[in-house]
Every structure is written in structure tokens, then in C-alpha cells.
Amino acid sequence: MTRLIRYEFYKLFCKRSMLVVLILFSVINLFKINDEFHSYSYLADGNDSRSWNSVYWQLYENYSGEITAEKINHLLGLYQPLADATADMTASTATGNNPNTMTGNIYSDRNILEKYYVQPMEYFYNYRTYSSEVAKKAKENAAFYKEQGQIYEMRKNSVIYNLYSGRSISAFAYQEMYNYYLNYDFSNILVLLLCLYGIISTFVCEKETQMDMLLLTNPNGGKKTTSAKIVAVTLFVISVVIWFSTLDYIGFALSFGTTQGYNLPLYAISNFSTAAVNCNLWQYVILSAVTRTIGVWTMSMVFLLISMFWRNALIPFVADFGAALCLIVTGASQSHLSNVWLKIINPYSLLTNRVLFGKTEFIGFAGYPIQSFLAAIIFAVVVGLIVITAMLILSKRNYHCRDRRIKCLDLCTK
């Protein structure tokens, strides 16, 4: 069986066109990531001594690491005079080589400090208070619902309490790269297109050459081949997602020029303030890749099932592509809304998993609260397994061969 899987993998995915597409998509992805940096980051203004990039990293030495009262006072000592001097908007707006400024202009100095140091540090510093407030409210709610006899609400609030109590951000670090990394969706489309291309010919290529009939005459044909194809596709999907997840991370690290902040908790990114998990950013990168793999795998299995019934790639490609676009558009447009079920049943949520991990949301199952990301993973796996079962049931069998075997067995027993 292992050999069969290996052959199927080589046959389906180790081809020149696949390699070309993979390289092309990887290059496009790296360009896009670089474009993200230049479009969105204010630190993409070069290495001039008065550029924001240079000033930021000069100051970084002073404020990175554990947040202390001394660092906060030092930062406010630098920021407050600038804020006061620019409050009435009468300071000079001339940009040049004002020797008393860091970036050449007093407004620019205030803005870089405010955006990159004061606001994040204020958020980091206050996070403990905010989260303890949430934990306190959750505890009160849990006690209240316990009195009311509402077990589900009590359990839900207990989970929230456990999740939020003890949350704090003790160290300051650069987190802009991770903010954009976690909001980056472009590679998901590339992954889906690549998987679609790989998967679409899994069954179709043999049908186009009528090889499918010939395969049935082989002892390893029929269900065994189908199983091998499913395993090969699974391996292919895992490889593609791991490749692009790694490429995304490396691309962002190279474009932004740093991986600083990997040790910050996930909720240090302000869009993840109500994150559903307590983990560090580097752990989340891995978690995200795993979740993404499950989402792509489920979608791929559905693609595979659709392609089973056709003799050429035209209809399955258009149907799969159309279905994927529908899932993407509905997933993206529903991602901001509070209907948790729509996020759970759409496997695309697992690809842009910030919609699941970024918010603490629950669904009730037999009186137990299940977090939305867990429910989405379970749902996707179940759907994937059902689709695999359907493929195995629907795959062609060599009835003639089986009948002959039965006859042989009958003869032997006689």
C-alpha cells in the first residue's frame, strides 16, 4: 500500500507543470508579502538616519523587554513635551533637518512615538486590567447563572474566567510584523488554486486515457487505488500548506527584517484582544498552519469528490472553483458578524483562522460550551471523513474479478 501511495503521489504531483506552478506561486507570494510591507508599514521608508525605520530601531533598544515604570516614565518624558508642543498645531510643519528632532519634524516625532511606542505600550500595560475585568465579570456571571440553574451559561462563563484570569503582557516588543502576518490572506487563494490544480486530475487523468478500466483489472485497482489517491492527495495538501505557511512566515520576516516579538502572547495584537487561546505568537503560527491544513484538506476532499464523476477537468474545475469562491466570499463577508454557526460550517474560516481564534465565541453542545475554533475543526474533520467514505463507496469495483475469486474459492473448498 505504501508503494502504491508513493506511485500515486509521484504520478499526480511530481510533474514539471506542478513544479512550475509551485515556484511561480511562491514567487508571487513573496512579492505580495513585500508589497504588504511597503504598502502598510510606516517603517518601510528606508535606512536614512532620519527615517522612521532608523529612529524606531534606535529607540527600540531603550523600550523593548520587560515593561517597567522606569521605561514608561522615560517614554512619557520623551513623548509628553512633543505632544504638548504640537497640541495647538502651531509648530512648524517644515520637514528638513531640524537638529532638535529625531525624524526632521516635530509632528513626525510625536507621531512615530505615539503610533509605535505610546499606544502599544499603553495597550500592553492596560491589558492586565482589562482582562482581569473580563475575568471578574465572567466570575460574577458564572455565580449568577449557577444560582439561576443555567448550567450552560455557568460553564461558558467559567471557561471565559479561566481563559482571561492571569492574562497580562509583561514585555514590550515589536508586533507590527505579526499584525500584518495574521491579517494576510493572499496565500490562501494560491494554496487553494494549487490544490485545485493538483487534485482535479487525480481521477480525471485516468478517465481521459481510459486507464481507469485497465486499473480495475489489477489486484491493487479499485478501492485500493482510490484509497491510495486519497492518501496521496492528503499528503500533497499537507505539503502545500506547510510550504506556504513557512514561506509566509519567512517572507514576512525577510520583508519586515525581523522576527522580534515572537514571544509575545497572541492577545498582544490588538485585533486579538479577545483571543480564544492563550498562546504565544510563534505557537499561534504553528497552530494557524495546522488549522489551515485541516481547512484546505476538507475543501480538497470535496474537490476530489466532485472530480470523481467527470471524464475531463472542465466542469469539476469550474464547479470547484465556483464553490471555493462562494465559500471565500461568504466566509469573508460573514467573518465580522456574530453568527458563529456560519463560521463553523464554512471551511474557509479555518484558512483565515483569525475569525475563529480572534474572538472568544462558543456554541452549545449537550449543555457544554465548545469554542468556535474547536467546533470548526471537528466539523471540518467530520465532513472530510464523510466525503472520504462517500468516495470509497462510490469508487468503481472490479465485480468480475471478485466473482472469479469467489468461484476460485468455491472450487478450492470443493
Partner 1 sequence: MPGFVYEIKKIMLHQKALLYIVIVLLFSTVWLAVSDSPYDNAMEQYKSEYEWYLEKVDGYCTDEYSLYLEQEAARIADAKEKQSNLLESYYDGKISESEYKKESQEIGKILEHQNGFEVIYQQYLYICENAENRYFLQINGWMGLIGGGTLNFVLFFGILLLVTPVFCSEYSCRMDALILTSKEGRKSSSHKLLIIIAGVLLMCVSISLIEYGFYSLKYGLPNGNYPIQSLSYFAASSKSITLFEGYVCIALLRLFGGLFLANFLMFISVVAKKYAVTLLTGAVSVIIPYIGLSKTSIYRLPLPLPFLLGTDFFAGDIVSNDALIGDEKIVFAEIDTNTMLILLSVSVLLCILAVAWILRCNSNKWQLKSRKRRNAAALAIMLSLVLTMAGCSNNEKSQNYVYNSSADYDCMGYEITQDAETFGYYLKNASTGETLNLVRSPMFGAFSDEEKVCAFCVCSPYLYYTTSVTESYVNRVGNYNSSITKVAVVELNLETLEEKIVFEQITNSGRSLFGIDYETGDKWKFLEFHYAFFLNSNSIFFIGNDGITQVNRSAKSITKLDIPTNGTISFDGESIFYKNRQSVLTRYCVSSGETYAYENIVAYDFCIDEQSIYYVSRTDGNLVYSCDKDGNNKELIGDVPAMLVTCDADGIYVLAKEDGEKIVLNKNR
The interface with partner 1 within residues 313-352 (CB under 8 A) comprises 313-319, 321-323, 325-327, 329-330, 332-334, 336-339, 341-342, 346
What distance in Å separates the CA atoms of residue 54 and residue 60, rounded to the nearest whole number? 10
125 binds partner 1 (CB under 8 A): no
What distance in Å separates the CA atoms of residue 176 and residue 60, rounded to the nearest whole number? 13
Nearer to partner 1, 287 or 342 (CB): 342
Q: What is the 3-state secondary structure (H, E, C) of 237-298?
A: HHHHHHHHHHHHHHHHHHHHCCCCCCCCEHHHCHHHCCCCCCCEHHHHHHHHHHHHHHHHHH
Ranges assigned E (strand) in 8-144: 65-66
Residues forming a β-bridge with 265: 280
Strand pairing of 368-371 and 362-365?
antiparallel
Sign, CA torsion 25/31/35/41: positive
Taking the complex as a whole, the smallest distance from the CB of residue 314 to partner 1 amounts, in Å, to: 5
| DSSP state letter for 280 | B
Nearer to partner 1, 197 or 243 (CB): 197
14 binds partner 1 (CB under 8 A): no
Q: In the range 85-114, which residues lie near partner 1 by CB under 8 A?
A: 93, 107-108, 111
Residue of 280, 311, 363, 383 that binds partner 1 (CB under 8 A)? 311
By residue count, the chain amounts to 414
Q: In the range 351-410, which residues lie near partner 1 by CB under 8 A?
A: 359-360
Residue of 55, 102, 118, 160 that binds partner 1 (CB under 8 A)? 160
Q: In the range 135-154, which residues lie near partner 1 by CB under 8 A?
A: 135-138, 140-141, 144-145, 148, 150, 153
- If binding means CB under 8 A, how many residues of this protein chain bind partner 1? 81
Taking the complex as a whole, the smallest distance from the CB of residue 413 to partner 1 amounts, in Å, to: 41
Q: Which amino acid is at 372?
A: S
| Packing angle of the helix pair 119-148, 151-164 (nearest 10 deg) | 150
Taking the complex as a whole, the smallest distance from the CB of residue 139 to partner 1 amounts, in Å, to: 9
Nearer to partner 1, 47 or 338 (CB): 338
28 binds partner 1 (CB under 8 A): yes
Q: In the range 186-215, which residues lie near partner 1 by CB under 8 A?
A: 186, 189-190, 193, 196-197, 200-201, 204, 208, 210
What distance in Å separates the CA atoms of residue 383 and residue 111, rounded to the nearest whole number? 49
